[in-house]
A and B are shown apart, each in its own frame.
Chain A
Amino acid sequence: AQTVTQSQPEMSVQEAETVTLSCTYDTSESDYYLFWYKQPPSRQMILVIRQEAYKQQNATENRFSVNFQKAAKSFSLKISDSQLGDAAMYFCAYRRVGAQKLVFGQGTRLTINP
Chain B
Amino acid sequence: KAGVTQTPRYLIKTRGQQVTLSCSPISGHRSVSWYQQTPGQGLQFLFEYFSETQRNKGNFPGRFSGRQFSNSRSEMNVSTLELGDSALYLCASSLAASSTDTQYFGPGTRLTVL
Interface residues of A (CB under 8 A from B): 33, 37, 42-47, 50, 91, 95-107
Q: Is the CB of A91 within 8 A of B43?
A: yes
Chain A interface SS verdict (over half): loop
* 9 shortest interchain CB distances as A-B pairs: A45-B105, A104-B43, A100-B48, A101-B45, A44-B107, A106-B42, A97-B99, A43-B108, A100-B33
Give Cα distance in the complex from A33 to B104, angstroms.
15
| Residue numbers in B under 8 Å from A91 (CB-CB) | 43
Q: Which residue of B lies closest to A6 (CB)?
A: B42
Instruction: Give the distance in Å from the alpha carbon of A15 to the alpha carbon of B98 in the complex.
Output: 38
Please tell me if B17 contacts chain A, counting CB pairs below 8 Å: no
User: Does B90 sit at the interface, judged by CB under 8 A?
Assistant: yes
Interface string of B33-45 (1 = CB under 8 A from A): 1010000001101
